[in-house]
């Protein structure tokens, strides 16, 4: 999701029933969550966000960068809080807006060397918000991020909106890193099979709980549990029954339970598998 502003309305939802087996939030934007108005309630500091999430059974967070400033913010937060690891990147929709794309990519490459940075992303392609005139810059940036991930030996976190075929085309052509995460997976069962065949991990957000998400549920059902992650993309994509309100890591239990139903896997078993996959991809916290 691209900066700036939460785009959410109303108050943060109440905490759900905690998970019995802890799990991670594989994709969140804490810096954006704190931009929600004070009247929305919810956590106002990193410490509060971590404590509230831990009480819900969410004990680890992946803080995701979308530009140079947010990437620096994430590296700093991960250095101060053991529960957080960071990713760094230029969001696909940022690339066409930059007057010095090469300079920004150099900054991301430099940040990628930090040991608290565990993935490069979110990067990829987005034809929903960026028109044809920006596509060449998006693809140039995407290819550069792939090389940064391979050079530093870190996972690649993909943003793919209305660009399934082109994302696979670029990854196949450039040569994907050993570890690829499809952030906020938005494809159907056929696309899920294509991704899993390449060894990719699919991260599901609150959208999997929506009534209109039949394709996502089918995708989850055909994906091996070992290839699943769960995320908030907070403050966006709040799961049902709170769709449209601000999201935060403490709401992961709602998404996990929806994903477990779709994947026909007991919740505790799914949480254990997700935690193991998270450690495999992002390393120890």
**Residue 230 falls in which region: left (phi positive, over 0), alpha (psi -120 to 50) or beta:** beta
User: Is 81 one of the annotated binding-site residues?
Assistant: no
- Separation of alpha carbons 232 and 252, rounded Å: 6
Q: State the number of CA atoms in the 13 A half-sphere of 192 facing the CB.
A: 23
What is the C-alpha to C-alpha distance for residues 53 and 159, in angstroms, rounded to an integer?
A: 24
List Cβ neighbours of 175 (8 Å cut-off, separation of 6 or more).
146, 150
Q: Say if residue 122 carries a ligand binding annotation.
A: yes
- 31 labelled ligand-binding: no
29 known member of a binding site: yes
What are the backbone dihedrals phi and psi of residue 158, each rounded to the nearest 5 degrees, phi first? Answer: -100, 130
User: Binding residue per annotation — 233?
Assistant: yes
Cβ contacts of 230 within 8 Å, gap of 6 or more: 23, 24, 25, 26, 203, 204, 205, 252, 255, 256, 259, 274
Is residue 188 annotated as involved in ligand binding?
Answer: no
Residue owning tokens 């039949």? 214
Q: CA-to-CA distance for 263 and 217, rounded, in angstroms?
A: 7
The whole-angstrom separation of Cα 221 and Cα 103 is 42
SS3 assignment for 97-158: HCCCHHHHHHHHHHHHCCCCEEEEEEEEEECCCCCHHHHHHHHHHHHHHHHHHHHHCCEEEE
**Which positions make up the binding site for a divalent metal cation?**
27, 29, 122, 159, 183, 233
**Which positions make up the binding site?**
27, 29, 122, 159, 183, 233
């Amino acid at each position: 999701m691209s900066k700036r502003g939460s785009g959410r309305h109303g108050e943060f939802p109440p905490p759900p029933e905690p998970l019995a087996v802890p799990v991670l939030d594989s994709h969140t934007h804490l810096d954006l969550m704190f931009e929600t108005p004070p009247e929305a309630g919810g956590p106002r500091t990193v410490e509060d966000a971590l404590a509230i999430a831990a009480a819900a059974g969410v004990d680890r967070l992946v803080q995701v960068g979308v530009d140079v400033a947010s990437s620096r913010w994430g590296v700093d937060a991960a250095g101060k809080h053991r529960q957080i690891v960071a990713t760094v990147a230029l969001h696909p929709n940022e690339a066409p807006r930059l007057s010095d794309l090469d300079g920004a990519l150099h900054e991301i490459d430099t940040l990628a060397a930090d040991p608290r940075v565990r993935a490069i992303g979110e990067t990829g392609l987005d034809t929903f918000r960026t028109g044809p005139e920006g596509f060449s810059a998006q693809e140039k940036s995407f290819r550069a991020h792939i090389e940064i991930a391979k050079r530093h030996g870190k996972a690649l976190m993909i943003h793919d909106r209305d660009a399934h075929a082109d994302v696979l085309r670029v990854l196949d052509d450039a040569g994907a890193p050993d570890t690829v995460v499809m952030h906020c997976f938005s494809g159907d069962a056929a696309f899920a099979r294509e991704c899993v065949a390449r060894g990719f991990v699919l991260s599901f957000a609150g959208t999997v709980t929506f009534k209109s998400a039949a394709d996502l549920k089918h995708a989850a059902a055909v994906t091996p549990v070992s290839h699943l992650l769960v995320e908030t993309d907070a403050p966006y994509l709040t799961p049902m029954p709170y769709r449209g309100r601000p999201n935060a890591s403490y709401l992961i239990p709602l998404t996990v339970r929806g994903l477990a139903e779709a994947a026909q896997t007991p919740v505790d078993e799914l949480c254990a598998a997700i935690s193991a996959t998270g450690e495999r991809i992002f390393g120890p916290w």
